[in-house]
Chain A
Amino acid sequence: MEMQVSAAESSASRNKLLTLHKVDKVFGRDVVALRNMSLDICEGDFISLLGPSGCGKSTALRLIAGLMQPTNGFIRWEDGRQGESLSVVFQEPTLMPWATVEKNVWLPMRLKGISFAKVRDDIREALNLVGLSGFENSYPRELSGGMKMRVSIARAMVTRPKLVLMDEPFAALDEITRFKLNNDLLQMKVKIDCTVVFVTHSVFESVFLSDRIVIMAARPGRVMQELKVDKPYPREEDFRTSNDYAAYCRAASQALKEAQEGPRQ
């Protein structure tokens, strides 16, 4: 069981996609949401930002998404592009209630001025990928919470983005639905070969999903350490009940605890 603490080492072999360099975010005069965060995001990474409320994990996500600018430090895309290669899934499904499922998934392309007819097949495929074939013409209110979240994921995946940012997307779902969506998300990640930054406060979710877990602490929000989950994709349901999984969970919980209280003497 290998557990490494260095971020640079774990991603040395892959192409770098995005760099956060000594990023601070201060709200107002003195509310420090994030302090001195550095992170290299590499192609193919599944990174979880794990920490309690107020640890700045959502702030980090919004900074990466370009919705806010850092107070100090910088965020650099290695290939300089951002718009086309980025998508976001929020905690709420964030669908347009007045539009059908397929029209909701069309949104990213529609805003690029691409007609519906042109991308109809892509939309069908994305919906198929999340298991919602046959619901193209349903309205969001006709769907369950889990299905709405699937639409939201389809909308994020339909453009084949390089980087998908997910902000506690499954936190409001029941556990059975969440497990199912975790499995499906991993399959999708492998299929469309994207990089994911996933914000969560669930140790179990972060271990199951990610290959890098960034442990964060609150007040001020900051990165404490990084754990590597050395288990290749695709991961199947049986990983959840394996000894490895339990060990990783224990290690992550311990790291999280230390992050809150300081390391044990």
Chain B
Amino acid sequence: MSELAHDPVTSFVDEEERARARRELRNRIGKWILPVVVFAVGILAWDWTIRINEIPHYILPGPGLVFQTLIQDRAILLDALMVTLQITLLALLVAVIGGAGLAILFNQSRLVEMSFYPYAVVLQVTPIVAIAPLIFIYVESKLVGLLICAWIVAFFPVLSNTTLGLKSADHNLRDLFSIYGANRWQRLLYLQLPSALPYFLGGLRIAGGLALIGSVVAEFVAGAGGIGSGLAFRILEAGYRLNIPRMFAGLILIAVTGVLIYAVLSLVSHLMLRKWHESAIKRES
């Protein structure tokens, strides 16, 4: 009896701890339930608005019709999605190689950094919509043009984050490497690159979304249709034909793609950092 009373697990959970447990449970459930509820309410409101006001589908289609179009036109839309996805992922890949490569180059040579970093910034702050038409004048292949546009938008976060990360290695560790006679490559490989990894992955997550935006914007600018057209072109085309439901269907696909890219990159980031980085650690209290 007295033993039981002193067992902290069974007999002594104070009011504060109980409140904390309740709060945690509520947050955990709410995180999933609430967005779903908002989604459902939004769809219902959309549907009712159309029914009550009898809005014709060529002005604003209902959610049912949009979903139906998504299924019906899946052949065209999925083809287009594949094209957009291909450009996005290729651009992201080149952005990663180019961004991280440039960052390492800048890090190794202060002179190169001083010479070229300002122009990387110029490239970043000039709106891609303004650059894209020029690119399509000089670049023969539409695919390459799209790729260049998406790359210009996506590479900067990788570059700037990795540059920062390479500089952020602990200064005592840097001294230690000097004392143990590390050469420049050992320093880069064993100290700077691991230190830069969390920064790089942060840049990568931003770049993933930007690559998609870049490729969609470039497609709008490029405009030309035919076989091998991406989602943005399908949306434009549907607009010309007043096929509003298909515009919505295309839009939904783009949004879902963006979310998926972000989710995948977040997962990659988590898996690479979970063992050691603060950002990936759940605190116990």
A residues near B (Cβ < 8 Å) are 62, 65-67, 83, 86-88, 90, 92, 94, 96-99, 107-108, 110-112, 139-141
Contacts and interface: CB of A to CB of B under 8 A. Distances in A.
A67 B178 CA distance: 7
B214 to A, nearest CB: 32
- Of B172, B176, B181, most A-chain CB atoms within 10 Å: B176
A87 B179 contact: yes
A140 B43 CA distance: 49
A139 B278 CA distance: 12
A67 B179 contact: yes
Nearest to B187: A111
B176 A88 contact: yes
Given A98-B194, A98-B197, A111 B172 contact: no
B32 interface: no
A111 B182 contact: yes
A83 B176 CA distance: 11
Contacts of A107: 176, 180, 190
B190 A110 contact: yes
9 contacts: A62-B175, A65-B179, A96-B173, A98-B276, A98-B277, A108-B180, A111-B181, A139-B275, A140-B276
Contacts of B194: 96, 98-99
B contacts with A: majority SS: helix
B180 A83 contact: yes
Interface string B164-185: 0000001011011111111000
Given A96-B191, A96-B194, A98-B194, A139 B179 contact: no
A88 B175 contact: yes
A97 B172 CA distance: 13
- Of B173, B177, B178, B277, most A-chain CB atoms within 10 Å: B173
- Of A62, A94, A140, most B-chain CB atoms within 10 Å: A94
* Interface range, B side: 20 to 34
A111 B180 contact: yes
B186 interface: yes
B177 A94 contact: no
B277 A97 contact: yes
B25 to A, nearest CB: 27
A210 B276 CA distance: 37
A76 B221 CA distance: 69
Given A97-B277, A141-B281, A92 B172 contact: yes
Contacts of B182: 111
A96 B187 CA distance: 12
Interface string B186-230: 100011001001000000000000000000000000000000000
Contacts of B278: 141
A83 B181 contact: yes
B194 to A, nearest CB: 5
Given A96-B194, A98-B197, 9 more contacts: A66-B178, A66-B179, A87-B179, A88-B176, A94-B176, A96-B173, A96-B190, A99-B194, A141-B276
A107 to B, nearest CB: 7
Contacts of A90: 172, 175-176
B156 to A, nearest CB: 26
Interface string B249-285: 0000000000000000000000000011110010000
Contacts of B186: 111
A107 B186 CA distance: 11
B170 A94 contact: yes
A98 B276 CA distance: 5
Nearest to A140: B276
A86 B181 CA distance: 11
B281 to A, nearest CB: 7
Contacts of B172: 90, 92, 94
